[in-house]
Amino acid sequence: MSNAQALKLALRTTLAALITFTVGHLLELPQAYWAALTSVFVMQASVGGSLKVAIDRMLGTLAGAIWGASVTLVIPHRDTSTLGLTLAVALGPLALVAALKPSYRMAPITAIIVVLSTTGVERGPVHYAIDRVLEIALGCLVGCAVSLLVLPARAHALLVEAAAEVILALRDLLELLLGEMTRRPDGTALATTQLRLDQALSRVESLVDEVKRERTHWLTDTPDAEPFARTLRRLRHDLTAIGRAVTEPWLQSVHQYLAIAMGDLRPVVSDYLVGSAAFVSGRRAPPPLDAVDTALLEFRDSMGRLRQSGVLRELGIDEVERVFSLAFALDQLRGHLGDLADRIAEHAKSASPANRSTTSSNS
């Protein structure tokens, strides 16, 4: 998250808490701080994220309040032992539900509050449960409203930034793998780059769900984000396959045939990935793949000369397998780069002035 995004999120969070606290006191809710806490909890980096948290928290609160109040009314608990029994009956089923469906993780917490709160004993469990639901509902409502209306951050915009990070990490990984094929890649640098790539991919995956949620609630008309994430995962798998092929240094007899072609292919693909990241961030049409196709054609010609030379007949099975695995992985990489170009084009089209105005009016 950039500094600007962090500042906007901090502003939205503060404003949501203040509004919720004020409204809670105007409505004379007995414990308005629950509403304020909920609004802070609901506030996420994107509108889609806020909607998910608000819905999950509301569902969990309703389930916990209803079940906790019901158990408290049915089972008398005038001493410690019976109170423990009441707590076990209230908590056990909800804990199982929360374990099976994480969206209900607030249910057991709410049930504990209803059962154990001294306020619940004094005012009655039903009244107390209703107050908690109202306070949580207020926090969810204000949190979502502020997220939507005050400097809103759409999940799709965050997804675009995360996708650009993934593409640049893919480029760095490619450079490390194909930098010098007569020696092993730098293990430490590889591990660091792969960790950065995995973290960026995880962020993309989480944002895909938030984009889907915004599309479901008609908050955006941007394309489905899942194909974009799927293409990035496939590119990651392609580089993993290339990495397996170049783990060990290439024999000189093989390298002399492939060195020039690989030397030409690496910077071309690297430049294409850098350009793709820039075009994703700028929401523009993708760069052409002509240079990549030319370099890949030269590599295939080099592979043809290598096969005709008879060198492969002198190699072991493992070496031959690595040669053909590299060729197959590069063909796969080209296909998925084409898919990446299609995804960039789709998202660039959604950013056209006409579509942006439509999105703004829908928001």
SS (H, E, C) 80-99: HHHHHHHHHHHHHHHHHHHH
- What pTM does this model have? 0.66
> What was the pLDDT predicted at 353?
44
**142 by DSSP, 3-state: which?**
helix
* pLDDT one-digit tens code per residue, 146-156: 877 776 666 67
The stretch 107-114 carries a mean pLDDT of 84
- Answer whether 203's CB lies under 8 Å from 155's CB: no
- Answer whether 334's CB lies under 8 Å from 300's CB: no
The stretch 55-75 carries a mean pLDDT of 86
Residue with tokens 């439509």: 358
The stretch 96-112 carries a mean pLDDT of 85
- Cα(113)–Cα(158) distance, integer angstroms: 36
> What was the pLDDT predicted at 45?
67
Q: 344 phi and psi, to 5 degrees? A: -60, -40
- Answer whether 350's CB lies under 8 Å from 259's CB: no
- Cα(245)–Cα(322) distance, integer angstroms: 5
24 burial level (CB within 10 Å; 0-12, 13-18, 19+): buried
> What was the pLDDT predicted at 230?
93
* pLDDT one-digit tens code per residue, 3-41: 777 787 788 888 888 888 888 888 888 778 888 888 888
Whether the per-residue pLDDT at 245 is higher than 70: the answer is: yes
Helix axes 47-74, 33-42, angle to 10 degrees: 140
The stretch 356-360 carries a mean pLDDT of 40
> What was the pLDDT predicted at 336?
94
DSSP one-letter string for 56-72: HHHHHHHHHHHHHHHHH
Whether the per-residue pLDDT at 145 is higher than 50: the answer is: yes
Number of H helices, E strands in the chain: 14, 0
pLDDT band at 338; cut points 50, 70, 90: very high
Whether the per-residue pLDDT at 220 is higher than 70: the answer is: no
State which fold the 155-362 domain adopts. Answer: Methane Monooxygenase Hydroxylase; Chain G, domain 1 (1.20.58)
